[in-house]
A = this chain, B = another copy of it.
Amino acid sequence: MTQATRRADTDRAIRAQARALLVRDGPQAVTLRAIAREMGITAPALYRYYASHDDLIEHLRADVCEDLAAELARDLAELSEDDRTGQVMAVCRGFRRWALAHPQEFVLVFASPSEATSNCPAGPNGADVPMDSFGRIFLSVAGGVLASGPLVVPQDRDVPPSLAADLTAFRGELLRVIAESGVEVPEERLGLGTAYVMLQAWVRLYGQVALEVFGQFPFPVTDPEPLFESMLADLLREVGLGEDGLHE
């Protein structure tokens, strides 16, 4: 009994220490020797828990993602089940708030050019890999929106044919995750056009947040929040979600 819990405990301690180093000194400071040093053990001991430095970093990424997901879930719990627009805004604002509060984690998870670990649901061998809980929350909110009414989306025949294959796969993944989250969405309401619009929304949300985190707006921004709220309002208006429950 204790043999497994003790192992789990030190495993947690390792990742906690790695997390602390990440927050305190940046991604390049989270090194095996530093973790071990801070824990009072030696570096090779860590190999009892992780196959390599990269392996540990990968698990750290997953941890950070789960924390983000938990934060978003907490925000969503405070909203009415029927307030679809509010849910979308909560998730988008939560993503921004988290990214600004934890820039190092944001870099690690969302802005690291690692070929190995992307957040795609399919691994390099093509086998399915469980989507992270962060993406699942996003998609469950999207599922609720789709269940409560259609969005303003382009016709399926208007999306470029060269995207059809990938978007069809994405659509399948969407339906799968949405079904898992317990929401009923008629298949015909989630066409290629809908999948395309969701992708474009992600592009804009991600771009806006990343630009803010990295300070790469083309001019000095005195208060980035109205900028974000404006983009969010544009986004919601364009997909047909009313401006009820507007911020401020």
Contact = CB atoms under 8 A, between A and B. Distances in A.
A103 to B, nearest CB: 4
Number of identical protomers: 2
Contacts of A2: none
Interface string A193-217: 0001011101111111011011111
Contact of A103 (B113, B160, B163, B208): B113
Nearest to A198: B218
Nearest to A107: B113
A214 B113 contact: yes
A115 B208 contact: no
| Majority secondary structure of chain A interface residues (helix, strand, loop or mixed) | helix
A112 interface: yes
A152 interface: no
B216 A231 contact: no
Given A160-B230, A163-B227, A216 B119 contact: yes
Interface in A108-163: 110-115, 118-122, 135, 138, 159-160, 162-163
A121 B220 CA distance: 7
Sorted from nearest, which 5 A-B pairs have the closest CB atoms?
A207-B207, A118-B215, A162-B226, A170-B219, A103-B113
20 contacts: A103-B113, A111-B216, A115-B215, A118-B214, A118-B217, A119-B216, A120-B220, A159-B230, A160-B229, A163-B227, A166-B219, A166-B220, A166-B222, A166-B227, A173-B218, A198-B218, A202-B211, A203-B231, A204-B207, A207-B207
Interface of A: 103-104, 106-107, 110-115, 118-122, 135, 138, 159-160, 162-163, 165-166, 169-170, 173, 196, 198-200, 202-208, 210-211, 213-223, 226-227, 229-231, 234
